Amino acid sequence: MWEQDVDINEVVEIRSKSTVYLGVGAIQKIDDIAAEMKQLQIEKVIVVTGKSSYKISGAWEVVEKALQAKGIAYRIYDQITPNPTAEQVDAATKVALEFGAQGVLAIGGGSPIDAAKSVAILMEYPEETAASLYEYTFTPEKAAPIVTVNLTHGTGTEIDRFAVVTILDKEYKPAIAYDCIYPMYSIDDPALMTKLPRNQSLYVSIDAINHVVEAATTKVASPYSILMAKETVRLVAKYLPIILQNPEDLTARYYLLYASMIAGVSFDNGLLHFTHALEHPLSAVKPELAHGLGLAMLLPSVVKNIYTVKSAVLADILAPIVPALTGDAGEAEQAAVGIEKWLFALGVDSKLKDEGFTAVDVARLTELAMETPSLSLLLSLAPIEADADIVTKIYEESLSPMCC
């Protein structure tokens, strides 16, 4: 394939509403980005990150030098956890406001970047809170400039207008989508991802797969979202097994990262439906559950239930994973079992029961999927009617393996 002819050490510039630098060594672009921030009179930034990956990945060493060289002062908020909470966003916003930060620099995977996007909004609306932002009591139109150094190959948040934060006391994990939180610049450097643990590497790529399966089958799917869906599945199917054997394989990391980025563009256009709307209640109730694992457990049943009305597109985009599909509407079970077998072969073989959920939990999960702010919008985009009965059915079918 043509991928072998691409020089992955050549950093390329990818423009959407965000500008993304992709390639081995892209982290060095932080020098140019810092220079531009200075030109824009951004003299102080809040760095939003998790506890350690910003250092372990090697990103911080380069970023710190660039900020110092350009005379940009910074404060670090390093308390963002997976499934970031409204409290963390409020705490980081407080640090940013007290410091007088004019920009936000996120270093990390989806959680720090989504938290940083939320902080960027609240810096412009200091009278508001993360809870009011995610409960939709106001509509932001502006945010502080956002720069991201992305450390995982799954969420696509470095190139899209989405962010997700959990409101723990309500067990809500809503999503927001605003044009003002497209990052100004993002860095996608696969060399920063070779230390990602095995399971995290798996779960983030499975997140990307779910983004495109949904974005290609919503009511607003387009040839554009389908094109990127097809390429995302092809690249993940090809390169994910390689990094499981050799985590340091930079070519494989590059294409997984590229796949997750175009998956981000795919769902920025085609949006999402069942799998994300039903996963968010799972990780809202159990914040220790990885988003990608939650999605993996639900995907076979989601595909089974939508296949009849989306058989042609699903057979096409899923061909690298389930090659026997022809697009016949009667293949729903075969498609679902094929996806589950692919996931299990990768080592992702948990179902909801294995993660501590039981049939008793289904009613509460269904309620959360129907009432959490923003999730009903996603459900309204599903290709079949998404009422409480079908939501319940998908949760129930996802408790245990579909087959053998």
Interface ranges with Fe ion (CB under 5 A): 207
Q: In the complex, what is the shortest distance from the CB of residue 5 to Fe ion, in angstroms, rounded to a whole number?
A: 31
Q: In the complex, what is the shortest distance from the CB of residue 321 to Fe ion, in angstroms, rounded to a whole number?
A: 18
CA gap 84, 113 in Å, rounded: 10
Q: In the complex, what is the shortest distance from the CB of residue 290 to Fe ion, in angstroms, rounded to a whole number?
A: 11
- Nearest residue to Fe ion, using CB? 207
Among residues 77 and 203, whose Cβ is nearest to Fe ion? Answer: 203
Q: In the complex, what is the shortest distance from the CB of residue 378 to Fe ion, in angstroms, rounded to a whole number?
A: 11
Inter-CA distances, 109 with 106, 274, 291, 296, 370, Å: 9, 23, 12, 18, 28
Supply angle C-alpha 361, 294, 336, rounded to 5.
100
Among 213, 214, 48, 19, residue whose Cα is nearest residue 121: 48
Among residues 189 and 207, whose Cβ is nearest to Fe ion? Answer: 207
Among residues 163 and 315, whose Cβ is nearest to Fe ion? Answer: 163
Contact between 1 and 249 under an 8 Å Cβ cutoff? The reply is no
The tokens describing 278, both together, are: 């039903």
Among residues 16 and 129, whose Cβ is nearest to Fe ion? Answer: 16
Task: Match 């939180």 to its residue by tokens.
Answer: 181
Q: In the complex, what is the shortest distance from the CB of residue 154 to Fe ion, in angstroms, rounded to a whole number?
A: 7
The DSSP secondary-structure symbol of 159 reads T
The tokens describing 305, both together, are: 């239930």
CA gap 353, 195 in Å, rounded: 30
Q: In the complex, what is the shortest distance from the CB of residue 33 to Fe ion, in angstroms, rounded to a whole number?
A: 26
The three-state secondary structure class of 104 is strand
Q: In the complex, what is the shortest distance from the CB of residue 230 to Fe ion, in angstroms, rounded to a whole number?
A: 19
Among residues 207 and 397, whose Cβ is nearest to Fe ion? Answer: 207
Inter-CA distances, 257 with 116, 180, 321, 325, Å: 20, 24, 19, 27
Among residues 81 and 251, whose Cβ is nearest to Fe ion? Answer: 81
Q: 19 - beta bridge partners?
A: 15, 185
Q: Which uninterrupted H or E stretch holds 74?
A: strand 73-77
Among residues 147 and 272, whose Cβ is nearest to Fe ion? Answer: 272
